[in-house]
Chains A and B, each alone.
Chain A
Amino acid sequence: MASKKKYSKEMLLNFYRTMNRMRSFEERAAECFTKGMLAGNIHLSIGQEAAEAGAFAAIQEKDFFTSTHRGHGHVIARGGDAKRAMAELFGKKTGYCKGKGGSMHIADMAKMNHLGANGIVGAGQAISAGSALASKILGDDIVTVGCFGDGSTNEGTFHESLNMAATWKLPMVWFIENNCYGVSTEIHRVTNTPDIATRAAAYDVPFAVVDGTDVCAVYEAMLKAMEHARSGKGPYVVEAKVYRYQGHYCGDPAVYRPASYMEDALANDGIEKLGKKLLDMGVTEAELEQIKKEAYDEMMEAVKFADESPYPDPSEVTEDMYTTDNERCVAR
């Protein structure tokens, strides 16, 4: 559904800026990974920028959210600190989690109200529902957004949590980025409904399916969803159809996908589409290039910061296990 809403040039430029920052973060992370500067695994969200930028623009500062193993984009879209996020990928002391969580566990309780990315597919569904339950008990007007992908919607937590959230009218929005692949498995080979969000109907929960390459469409769908949840009417599910340009993890050649997947993806690139729209509105090529350059420079700074930051001291290995009586609890 094409957007009817009027957008100022400034708002669209903001989207464009955010989306370029997200992509640049991921590209720089991929470069660092390829150069061997990062240990472990990273899961990139290149191609999903429009969906995430649109969604997070509809989320208020007081709101909470959960994220997934493919969660760097959410942090940038939320206005997180790219330096601390990159440092966490590097396993450095200056990272969001002091290097203890890494790419799959970035969280920020202090500023972003980020209840954590999660390495377990589907875990954030119950955690987001629990945060929404907290809002109901506390009587605040905070909405919790659970962000996750298509793969997790076949976990039991999807159905258990959505059933409870719907029954108890919890202020929760689920934002599903459907990139069609759970690692290598195409969603329609293992799922019987063309759209995922239609499953919400089984729990009498309203839903929307939107083009996740159209930042405005996602923004509008999420605004409506957030308003619904905030007004006490219970949860809402938004499914954004997106493309995952990379394989499951950085370095996965994704040979299991047909060539047409990437052809479609590139023909529908969210950043390119928004760029064209801005050119039509009178923004110059040079202005767009400048935005890309600023994003690149910022993320190069983040890499520099991460690279130059100290690793945690080995003595910190047993810290932060327990809030109280930590030493005795880890001793034996």
Chain B
Amino acid sequence: MSKKLTVSKAIREALHEEMVRDDKVFIMGEDMAVMGNVFAITTGFLEEFGPNRVIDTPISEEGFCGMAVGAAMRGLRPVIELMYNDFATVAADPILNQAAKMRYMTGGQASIPMVLRAPMGSGRRNAGQHSQSLENFFCHFPGLKVIAPSSAADAYGLIKSAIRDDDPVISLEHKLLYAKKEEIPDEEYLIPLGVADVKREGKDLTIITWSREVNFSLEAAAELAKEGIDVEVLDLRTLVPLDWDAIVKSVSKTHNVIIVSEEVKRGSYAGELSAQIAEELFDELDAPVERVCGLNIVSPFSPVLEDENFPHPKDIVKAVKRVLNK
């Protein structure tokens, strides 16, 4: 049996179930309680769980992210939200220097079972400080795990796993996926961190991608199929830990790879994946790996300009043809 839910409702259901299951779980962030979150993810939570477990914070990102670290060290499981992942720059210390490093620096004594939900991504005409995709920023720092679901079903299962995980997990949630309605199984389930998903099987080329670009990649794959090009779409779902086995399996079959991400291309996680494939799977490759990413610019406001800035299906189609020399 299945039901149809938007991605935001699926996340809501995951959070709700985990809060009911474990009273150590609490929610904290800007506009999470009375308003119930700008994307309506926690509406009704304040009434159901009370003000101790659903907390509206002041606009103090560094403060409340740091407090989540302290609460996590005391055995609670905070689920906090930065309204936009761009605000992580304001809260960089507690996320990158504290949450990520505490376990190692204390010789394994402390664990930080915290989830940081961070809406991200381009396409919403939010201009330079509300449109970034900061995968590279979070993936760079050892100590963090990073998920980036592309569907309602994955978001539900991954967030539940993230809350139960004893390490800090960053959940990158594309804002333009929240309203997407999809089938998800009726019964409760978990999706383990670090397991990729083949969204479409193919034999000519592997598209490695995640989050909203999975949908664009599937659209591109459908276009390419009309021309007899058979593309495999590998949705990583989790960026750290990386499902390397899934990458090896797919690349060993198709021998051609592009990596599609909304990040700024320079220094992107897509570039890191490209490097790993080049280093370790060189003999499997028929052509150089291509990154299909955002430009090395600030995210523009004007819709005409913004659409130039992140990969659309037509860009993916072009890149696939370039790599396949077609």
A interface residue numbers (CB < 8 A to B): 64, 66, 95-101, 105, 107-110, 115-116, 118, 120, 123, 125-138, 144, 156-157, 160-161, 163-164, 167, 319-325, 328-332
Contact = CB atoms under 8 A, between A and B. Distances in A.
A136 B53 CA distance: 10
A105 B70 contact: no
Contacts of A98: 107-108
Contacts of B71: 130-131, 133-134, 137
B241 A164 contact: no
A164 B76 contact: no
Nearest to B60: A160
Interface of B: 26, 52-53, 57-58, 60, 62-76, 93-94, 97-98, 102-111, 113, 142-143, 145, 165-167, 193-194, 240-242, 244, 276
B50 to A, nearest CB: 10
A133 B67 contact: yes
Contacts of B26: 137
A328 B194 contact: yes
B115 to A, nearest CB: 14
A97 B102 CA distance: 11
The 10 closest A-B pairs by CB, nearest first: A130-B70, A126-B66, A160-B63, A130-B67, A97-B107, A98-B107, A134-B74, A320-B108, A160-B60, A323-B166
Contacts of A99: 107
A128 B70 contact: yes
A173 B193 CA distance: 39
B66 A129 contact: yes
Given A115-B70, A126-B70, A322-B143, A137 B53 contact: yes
Contact of A324 (B52, B109, B166): B166
Contact of B107 (A101, A118, A135): A101
Given A130-B70, A163-B60, A325-B241, 12 more contacts: A98-B107, A126-B65, A130-B71, A130-B74, A131-B70, A131-B74, A138-B74, A322-B167, A323-B166, A328-B242, A332-B244, A332-B276
Nearest to B243: A328
Contacts of B194: 325, 328
B98 A127 contact: yes
Contacts of B70: 66, 115, 126-134, 144
A322 B98 contact: no
B149 to A, nearest CB: 18
A164 B60 contact: yes
